[in-house]
């Protein structure tokens, strides 16, 4: 079982060189010696809180990376990673002495504490954000940072108690999940157990004591199983290594909390791991196990055929063991085992590094969505949104769903058809108007499950809605929705911008006391084109085209230069750019009126007989007049009905939309740029 080693082991350069020679024969040892000597000289007057020379810290990080079989360039950068942060040495000097590649890695790992932030939280966010920006260029940045956190946690007992808690929370929330996303289960388990020891000392010690008491019992049980399995596998000429799987303490604690069980009720503490040479032997071993003991079918997972995003591969099966209790087996090849333990680091020296980097990149959607310019986050709300999406990426569990053609798509647990659409392609997401799950039309906010067959319905007129942000699960989808909404908002602002002044510009001054409330009495469109407001006259009033307010909408007036007063909804995005001139806003409310107002609607549906007739009948029931109608069918069965209706108020419009939504096969209803999704 995993142990927390709170003792400092004094090691030297020879320890590091020996680890490199063992794991990377032919590595550039001269580079390592030069980097160590330079870092040792730069840190010569510095000590750690333990009293040891500071060089011990980068040396230990180098040893961790060497045991992960990383290249000597990465290890050299680890030895130098604190010289820019904590000594007078500049990044330019590192670049001159050790080259661009090492300088890039050092810069990526270096914190930015020199920046003056309002809060420690913002400082943490900026550090993480900068590290992720550097990781986009080279994934080894995050590997060095993880090794750095491992050694910091191994020596955390020398920190003040308050700082121990803060660091442990950061490790548990950010760095341990990062290791998990990269498939580095060894690093993740050690980080989680050390943080668990700091944050929940009593619970940690209780679980450690109970595991120790059951150690002999578990070892005897595993030995009996090994004997039984060995006999069966020899008959099939299958070689395998059978061991008890070491479940780390925090995972036991987490399972107890999630499942509401006591320690005695957690049976997979004694799980069995079987490692063999060939993939075919994995399935042969699975057959033997299912012959010996009855499988629990709901607990079988084939991660060999469908690997996890972090490259993890293994067969998982749970059976009713010889003592009548559930018993879990993990079956994998030696190559799969190395990947499961060390993740992307497992094959760094032997496989295409560009492929490994791209695979790691895909495991962090937030890396794909992070703004490329290294601009500072200026508001706490931006920092918190960034951290929220990062944690969503780090903690998500996976589900596996299928396209209608049988292609497997991996999504976060809790994903919706919108997440699925954006996982297929950005334009599929942007044009999504509906979805079918297992051939049944469903609302777009439906949570999809593993094994579902998902089909996205699209339309050339379809587009994202701000309401989608309330239920999408993946940060990738959230980013693309926001990106589309931002572009549309910029286009609206551009179209609403006042025309460039000509040689002479005539303006009308409208002087309105701040305390006076203006009421819109009547607006008559079409031929009359007149409008009056209580308390004033001869003032040009117009309803904004960007939000098209109607009676019932919460509105505000804005005094425009030379164009009188424009009436906007208070929720109109265009108002954001006008708030710098707050003195030009006036209060406006609607008065009761029998007038009607033209509203444009676009209805999208899956075509069927009598669709247009049913829409017309429903509108007649709503007592609304149809000014204009246009119906077309696009690409197969995608029907679009465009209408101009006369409505009396916002309440009237809502009633119309609610009734139309109840019609069969309607997928969306749009009013200008506002999209009302089916509930």
Q: Taking the CA atoms of the chain, what radius of gyration do you get in angstroms?
A: 32
Q: For residue 12, how many other CB atoms are within 10 A of its CB?
A: 11
Write phi, then psi, for 39 (nearest 5 degrees): -65, -40
**C-alpha distances in angstroms, 457 versus 408, 423, 425, 435, 604?**
18, 14, 13, 5, 11
The DSSP letter of residue 648 is S
- Is 569 buried (19+), middle (13-18) or exposed (0-12) by CB count in 10 A? buried
What's the rounded Cα separation, in Å, for the pair 659 and 201? 59
Q: Could you say which of 28, 52, 85, 398 is catalytic? A: 85
Please confirm, yes or no, whether 224 is among the known catalytic residues. no
- By three-state DSSP, how is residue 253 classified? helix
Work out the end-to-end distance of the chain between its first and last CA atoms, rounded to an integer number of angstroms.
Answer: 50
The DSSP letter of residue 466 is G
What's the rounded Cα separation, in Å, for the pair 622 and 615? 11
- By three-state DSSP, how is residue 16 classified? helix
- By three-state DSSP, how is residue 438 classified? coil
Chain centre to alpha carbon of residue 380 = 19
- Token reading at 145: 């940072």
What's the rounded Cα separation, in Å, for the pair 470 and 478? 9
Contact between 664 and 608 under an 8 Å Cβ cutoff? The reply is: yes
Size (the chain), residues: 679
Q: Following CA atoms 75, 339, 403, 468 in sequence, which dihedral angle do they give, to the nearest 10 degrees?
A: -50
* Beta bridge partner(s), residue 589: 519
Please confirm, yes or no, whether 607 is among the known catalytic residues. no
Q: Could you say which of 21, 30, 52, 86 is catalytic? A: 86
Q: Following CA atoms 332, 335, 337, 343 in sequence, which dihedral angle do they give, to the nearest 10 degrees?
A: -130
> Which residues are catalytic, by number?
85-86
């Amino acid at each position: 079982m995993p142990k927390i080693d709170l003792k400092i082991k004094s090691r030297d350069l020879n320890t590091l060189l020996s680890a490199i020679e063992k794991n990377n024969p032919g590595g550039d040892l001269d580079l390592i010696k030069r980097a160590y000597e330079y870092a040792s000289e730069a840190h010569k007057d510095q000590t750690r809180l333990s009293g040891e020379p500071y060089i011990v810290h980068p040396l230990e990080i180098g040893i961790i990376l060497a045991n992960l079989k990383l290249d000597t360039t990465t290890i050299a950068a680890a030895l130098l990673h604190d010289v820019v942060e904590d000594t007078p040495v500049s990044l330019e000097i590192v670049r001159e002495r050790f080259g661009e590649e090492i300088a890039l890695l050092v810069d990526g790992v270096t914190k930015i504490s020199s920046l003056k932030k309002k809060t420690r939280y913002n400082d943490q966010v900026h550090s993480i954000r900068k590290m992720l920006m550097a990781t986009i260029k080279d994934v080894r940045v995050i590997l060095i940072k993880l090794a750095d956190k491992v050694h910091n946690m191994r020596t955390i007992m020398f920190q003040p108690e308050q700082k121990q808690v803060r660091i442990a929370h950061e490790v548990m929330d950010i760095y341990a999940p990062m290791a998990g996303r990269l498939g580095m289960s060894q690093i993740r388990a050690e980080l989680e157990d050390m943080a668990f020891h700091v944050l929940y000392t009593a619970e940690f010690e209780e679980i450690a004591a109970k595991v120790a008491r059951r150690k002999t019992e578990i070892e005897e049980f595993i030995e009996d199983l090994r004997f039984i399995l060995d006999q069966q596998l020899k008959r099939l000429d299958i070689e395998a290594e059978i061991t008890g799987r070491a479940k780390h303490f925090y995972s036991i604690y987490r399972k107890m909390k999630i499942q509401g069980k006591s320690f005695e009720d957690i049976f997979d503490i004694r799980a069995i791991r079987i490692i063999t040479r060939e993939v075919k032997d994995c399935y042969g071993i699975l057959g033997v196990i299912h012959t010996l003991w009855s499988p629990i079918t709901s607990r079988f997972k084939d991660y060999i055929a469908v690997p996890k995003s972090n490259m993890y591969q293994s067969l998982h099966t749970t059976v009713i063991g010889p003592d009548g209790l559930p018993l879990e087996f993990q079956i994998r090849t030696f190559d799969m085992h190395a990947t499961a333990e060390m993740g992307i680091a497992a094959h760094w020296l032997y496989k295409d590094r560009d492929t490994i980097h791209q695979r790691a990149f895909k495991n962090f959607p937030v890396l794909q969505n992070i703004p490329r310019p290294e601009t500072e986050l200026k508001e706490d709300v931006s920092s918190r949104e960034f951290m929220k999406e990062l944690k969503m990426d780090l903690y998500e569990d996976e589900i596996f769903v299928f396209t209608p053609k049988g292609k497997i798509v991996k999504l976060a647990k809790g994903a919706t058809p919108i997440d699925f659409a954006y996982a297929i392609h950005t334009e599929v997401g942007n044009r999504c108007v509906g979805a079918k799950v297992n051939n049944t039309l469903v609302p777009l906010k439906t949570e999809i499950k593993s094994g579902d067959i998902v089909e996205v319905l699209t339309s050339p007129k379809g587009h994202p809605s701000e309401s989608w942000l309330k239920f999408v699960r993946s940060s990738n989808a959230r980013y693309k929705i926001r990106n589309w909404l931002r572009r549309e908002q910029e286009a609206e602002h551009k179209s609403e911008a006042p025309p460039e002044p000509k040689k002479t510009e005539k303006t009308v001054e409208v002087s309105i006391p701040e305390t006076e409330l203006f009421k819109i009495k009547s607006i008559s469109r079409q031929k009359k084109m007149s409008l009056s407001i209580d308390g004033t006259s001869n003032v040009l009033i117009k309803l904004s085209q960007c939000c098209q307010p109607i009676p019932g909408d919460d509105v505000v007036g804005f005094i425009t230069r030379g164009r009188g007063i424009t009436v906007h909804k208070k929720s109109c995005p265009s108002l954001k750019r006008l708030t710098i001139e707050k003195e030009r806003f006036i209060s406006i409310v609607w008065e009761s009126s029998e007038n009607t107002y033209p509203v444009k609607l676009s209805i999208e549906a899956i075509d069927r007989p009598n669709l247009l007739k049913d829409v017309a009948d429903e509108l007649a029931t709503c007592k609304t007049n149809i000014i204009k109608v246009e119906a077309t069918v696009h690409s197969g069965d995608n029907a679009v009905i465009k209408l101009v209706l006369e409505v009396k108020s916002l309440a009237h419009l809502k009633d119309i939309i609610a009734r139309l939504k109840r019609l069969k096969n309607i997928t969306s209803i749009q009013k200008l740029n506002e999209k009302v999704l089916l509930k």
